[in-house]
Amino acid sequence: NTMVENSIIDKIPLITTDAGPRDKKWEERLKEEFVALIKYIQLLKEDEEDWFEINPIDGTGGIKWSGKCWYFYNFQKYEFKLQFEVPATYPASPIELELPELDGKTAKMYRGGKICLDIHFAPLWSKNTPKFGIAHALSLALGPWLAAEIPYLVDEGIVQA
């Protein structure tokens, strides 16, 4: 676990409720997800390093979320729509983060703009289920993906600011 030691990830509250969207305790889990997300965003803003906005879509019971994420490269801001749906098998299965505007623009993506998760993420997620939540997925999956892919996509002329 050295790759995430002494980092912001250690300060994101862990989640204790093991429940998915179809479980009776989903509302309880959702409250903990919000606490973790709010704390993560506060930590990022304290360091002036916030890089996403995400909210549940009204009427979906916290299952569908949308927002945006951004990445700075060569003093330019690249912003993308971000969305995901919490799978029925959550938290055993992580959320699949989607950047629909980048669909088909990189090999590190599945159909529909779902990002390919880093080879280190899946074992880390399964080892930490159910303690990891949405905030952890954003930090450990989407953050590194943007850092690896956006410079490449920009340098190749595939994405413009």
Is pLDDT of 21 > 70?
Answer: yes
Give 26-53 pLDDT, tens digit per residue: 999 999 999 999 999 999 999 889 999 9
Please pick, among 44, 57, 116, 154, the residue that the annotation labels catalytic.
116
Is 116 catalytic? The answer is: yes
- Give the pLDDT of residue 71: 96
Instruction: Specify the higher pLDDT residue, 65 or 5.
Output: 65
Distance CA 19, CA 42 (A): 25
Per-residue pLDDT, 94: 93
Tell whether the model's pLDDT for residue 6 goes beyond 90.
no
**What gap in Å lies between CA 92 and CA 108, rounded to an integer?**
23
Using an 8 Å Cβ cutoff, are 37 and 160 in contact?
no
Check: CB of residue 126 under 8 Å from CB of residue 108.
no
Residues 6+ apart with CB under 8 A from 95: 84, 85, 86, 87, 134, 137
Instruction: Indicate the pLDDT class of residue 15, thresholds 50, 70 and 90.
Output: very high
For the chain, give the percent of residues with pLDDT over 90.
Answer: 82
Q: Which residues does residue 79 pair with via DSSP β-bridges, in sequence order? A: 70
Q: Quick: pLDDT tens for 88-129.
A: 999 999 999 999 999 999 988 888 899 987 677 889 999 999
Contact between residue 116 and residue 128 where contact means Cβ atoms under 8 Å apart: no
Question: Can you give the pTM of this predicted structure?
Answer: 0.91
